Structure 1
Amino acid sequence: MTSRITLISPATSPSLRQARFDDGDSLDNGGVVKARSAAGSLPAAARVFLSPSVRCRETASALGLDGVAEAELAGLDAGRWRGRTLEEVMATEPEAVGRWLADPDCAPHGGESVRDVCERVGRRLDTARDTDGRTLAVVEPEVVRAAIVHALDLPLAGFWRLDVPPLTATELSGRAGRWNLRLGQPLAAP
């Protein structure tokens, strides 16, 4: 039995463009247009899951996908940094940001650490390994990173070294207790 999971990152939103910790904003017009133009380009799937964020739900809708939001697939909880740009946080809390980026167990913002999100997403990925067929999941970029770190058993420090562009597909296929990875395919009009 082979499980295939295609992780789709959300289309662009103001917070993505501004390097701002997600604040629940909607997709921007360009993101909606690109997602709609890619509708129909994804393979048929037995299941569709979503991060519960607005931008993931809107991306799925624009792609013509009807999915189930799952709390386990939520983006990293940035606590009190939510809605602020990384530049703003760096200006007021440079040491905290430095610790957060260097130590996967650190969560100076009061939310989740990198370890927390990787373990949460990893548990969800482990349950999917025993599911036959294809799953599509429209998820936050940090969920894609966490899934890759878990699937390839990478050190947690690798989390920050994985770039996940908007509206791309990353595919994991698993069987016999291991995952294979196909990285960042852009979604395009069929």
Structure 2
Amino acid sequence: MTVRLTLISPGTSGALRDVRFDDDSPLDDEGIARAEAVASAVAASTRAYCSPSARCLRTAQALGLAPEAVAELAGCSMGRWRGRSLAAVAAAEEPAVAAWLSDPTAAPHGGESLRDLRVRVGGWLDTLQAGSGRVHVVAEPDVIRAATVHALASPDEAALRLDVRPLVAVHFSGRAGRWNLRVGETLRPESE
């Protein structure tokens, strides 16, 4: 049995625009409009899931999906850095940011390490292979990075080298305990 999984990043929010560690800010008006405009590019699926954040749920709804929010797909817990800009955190805690950016086991913010995120997301991803059919997941960019690293059995450090833009689809097909990746595409309205 083959699972065809499409991971979709959410539309824009205030945290994304301000380059802040996410604080569950809602999708902004432009993010909603863009997601609604590209809904026709999202094929029907047998199952739909999303990160439990407000912007992922709203993006999924704008894309015409009726997702189940899954705790294992939550974005990385950023502890005391939550809601703060990367620039402000780097200015106040330069060695901590350097450690976080170089060591996937580091969690100087008091939250979750990138390795812990990958293990959590990877565990959920592996459960999908028990079924078949088309699955859509609207997930935070760090969750998509973690899923990609896990699926390709790449080192955890690779997650820091992956850029996930708003409303990008990353496609996987999985069976027999392995995943294949079709590199992402930006969702576009059918008229473009």
TM-score (norm 1): 0.98
Matches for 1:111-122 after TM superposition, within 5 Å: 111-122=111-122
Q: In the aligned structure 2, how far is the partner of 1:175 from the partner of 1:24?
A: 33
The answer to whether the Cα contact below 8 Å between 1:9 and 1:165 also exists between their aligned partners in 2 is yes
1:122 corresponds to which letter in structure 2?
A: G
Q: SS at the partner of 2:97?
A: helix
Q: Matched residues in 2 for 1:77 and 1:134: separation? A: 29
Q: What is the SS of the residue equivalent to 1:19?
A: coil
Q: CA RMSD in A?
A: 0.8
After superposition, give the CA deviation of every residue in 1:149-186 in whole Å (9 maximum; x if it has no partner).
00000011101000001001001101122111012211
Structure 1's unaligned 5+ residue stretches are none
Amino acid at match of 1:7: L
Match for residue 20 of structure 1? 20
Distance 2:187 2:70 in 1: 23
Counterparts of 1:79 and 1:5, CA distance in 2: 30
CA contact (8 A) 1:10 1:59 kept: yes
Equivalence for 1:40: 40
Q: What amino acid does structure 2 have at the position aligned with 1:22? A: D
User: Structure 1 segments of 4 or more deviating over 2 A?
Assistant: none
Distance 2:3 2:58 in 1: 26
Matches within 5 A, 1:50-65: 50-65=50-65
Is residue 165–residue 184 contact of structure 1 (8 Å, CA) maintained in 2?
no
Please give the secondary structure, in 1, of the residue aligned with 2:182: strand
CA distance in 2, matches of 1:159, 1:24: 21
SS at match of 1:56: helix
Aligned to 2:128: 128
The C-alpha deviation readout for 1:121-154, integer Å capped at 9, x for no partner, is 0000110122100110000000100001000000
Correspondence for 1:147: 147
Between the aligned residues of both structures, percent identity stands at 55
Cα separation, 1, equivalents of 2:49 and 2:81? 26
Q: Which runs of 5+ in 2 are unaligned?
A: none
Which residue of structure 2 lines up, in the alignment, with residue 92 of structure 1?
Answer: 92
Instruction: Indicate the residue corresponding to 1:102 in structure 2.
Output: 102
Secondary structure at the residue paired with 1:135?
strand
User: Normalising by structure 2, what TM-score?
Assistant: 0.97
Q: Comparing 45-54 with 34-43, which one deviates more in the overlay?
A: 34-43
Displacement of 1:40: 2.3
Which whole-Å CA distance do the structure 1 matches of 2:17 and 2:181 have between them?
Answer: 27
State how many pairs are aligned.
190
In structure 2, C-alpha distance between the alignment counterparts of 1:131 and 1:78, rounded to whole Å = 32
What is the rounded CA distance, in whole Å, between the counterparts of 1:167 and 1:91 in structure 2? 30
What are the superposed Cα offsets for residues 70-103 of structure 1, whole Å, 9 maximum, x if unpaired? 0000000001100001001000000000001111
